[in-house]
Structure 1
Amino acid sequence: MNQAAFINVALLALFGLQHSLMARKWFKEKVNLPKPRRTYALATVAILILIARCWQPMPELAWQFQGAVAIGLYIVWTLGLQLILFGAMSINARELLGLAEPRPAEFHTPFLYTIVRHPIYLGAIFVLWSTPAMTHGRLLFASAMTLYILIGIQFEERDLERVFGDVYRVYKMRVPMLIPSLRRPLPLPPPPR
């Protein structure tokens, strides 16, 4: 591994460590920050700024497409961005961004969440990979972030099962994680009152 790749992997590992540790319930209880969601969001922004400032160029091309394929990739990228935005807005973007502290947990499934359980992550994967010109640096970033998303989903779903119990387990059985099903999804039962 060359020096640029080593530095970039270290930066991505730092992001994964911060983002995963601060999201865990045991961390929140142990550290006991006055505004945990806001602190989490600000720490994430700080790490992303560090990545942007310290990222080492790896400009060699892994692939490059032009014409109709490039246009198709831009369309998928735009769809990914829309999934991120609409997914965040439908579950309260203010809380997600740390502008408001979370309200007590309540299970609900806005429209996108009836198609896949994680539309924001699906959108992020689309944005990461839908580029006509994939450099080695971007390939490293896309690969690491996709791996982080797939691992993070496991932790997140475990936490959601702990909070919502059988309601979330039924939801998992009926709605696919990331890849929409061609079958019509089964209706979800109303949450218990």
Structure 2
Amino acid sequence: MVATRQFNVRTRPGVGAVAAVVHGAVSYLAFLAVFLYAVAFLADTIVPRTVDRGGPYSGTPIAVAIDALLLGVFAVQHSVMARPAFKRRWTTLVPPYVERSTYVLAASASLALAFWQWRPIPAVVWDVPGAAGQSLLWMLFTLGWVWVLAMSFAIDHLDLFGLRQVARHLRGLADQAPSFAVPLPHRLVRHPMTLGFFPAFLATPTMTVGHLLFAGLGIAYILVGVRLEERDLAEELPEYTAYAAVTPRFIPGLARHRR
């Protein structure tokens, strides 16, 4: 499910409209860079620092503490800035039309910090032998990331990353309240995008302790984050509660979700 926004009230663009578009474009490019880095980071390839190599070795206890703190910074930023109460206060300081792109930029920066300061923990949890098994896991890994990106278009890719807001402001179109819409993937599950993160995080022929820590904390954050998001959606959109009552959260065809 997605709350879509309509822009059909014309206003005069502000003096900073062009700057807002530049800001939105920079924020989007930052997202793309971090997204691609995340793929290479977990694939343990191409980039200088990955989940399993490149960072300083700190010993397992210290590495666990540092890595958990880095992911905690991202989780706090990503969740707090998404809450309606924060947005109401934040948009008294920044224009509403750059709120989303600023959120995207901050999220990209916090995740980039995690990649930059990550401490590898190289102890192996599992190592899948054989080309067939390895190929299957790499295929699942790739499909997971492709699915995440594809589901952003199933919602509204431009709106999700703040580009539509700044472009509309440049054209003199004012934002209106979100409306309730259910794109096709959201008719099967409430959070189709997040499904892609599970294989993206976990599908790897060689799983190290550091990689498993990243995957475990990442999935834990997803499970908490979607509940916070659903609480906000239920308060903002009256139709959401009825939708959630008949649509499973993650697994298609699962019996009605019970709270």
Instruction: Identify the match of residue 106 of structure 1 among 153, 174, 179.
Output: 179
- State the partner residue of 2:71: 12
Q: What is the alpha-carbon distance in structure 2 between the residues aligned to residue 116 and residue 83 of structure 1? A: 14
- State the partner residue of 2:82: 23
Q: What is the alpha-carbon distance in structure 2 between the residues aligned to residue 159 and residue 31 of structure 1? A: 17
Aligned residues: 183
Q: Give the drift of 1:72.
A: 2.5
| Cα pair distance change 1:96/1:139, threshold 3 Å | same
In the alignment, structure 1 residue 92 sits paired with structure 2 residue 156: yes
Q: What is the alpha-carbon distance in structure 1 between the residues aligned to residue 122 and residue 191 of structure 2? A: 31
Q: What is the alpha-carbon distance in structure 1 between the residues aligned to residue 247 and residue 150 of structure 2? A: 18
Of structures 1 and 2, the one scoring higher in RCO (CA 8 A, sep 6+) is 2
Q: Deviation string for 1:61-103 (max 9, x for gaps)?
A: 1111133332332232233223212210011111212223376
- List structure 1 segments (4+ residues) > 3 angstroms apart after TM superposition: none
Give me the TM-score of the superposition, normalised by structure 2: 0.66
In the alignment, structure 1 residue 143 sits paired with structure 2 residue 216: yes
**Consecutive unaligned residues in structure 2, runs of 5 or more:** 1-59, 166-174
Q: Percent identity?
A: 38
Instruction: Identify the match of residue 99 of structure 2 among 19, 32, 36.
Output: 36
2:82 corresponds to which letter in structure 1? A
**Consecutive unaligned residues in structure 1, runs of 5 or more:** 186-193
1:16 corresponds to which letter in structure 2? A
2:247 corresponds to which letter in structure 1? V
In the alignment, structure 1 residue 63 sits paired with structure 2 residue 126: yes
Q: Deviation string for 1:26-71 (max 9, x for gaps)?
A: 1111122221101100000111111111001111111111333323
Q: What is the alpha-carbon distance in structure 1 between the residues aligned to residue 254 and residue 85 of structure 2? A: 39
1:90 corresponds to which letter in structure 2? A
- State the partner residue of 2:168: none
Please provide the CA RMSD for this pair. Answer: 1.9
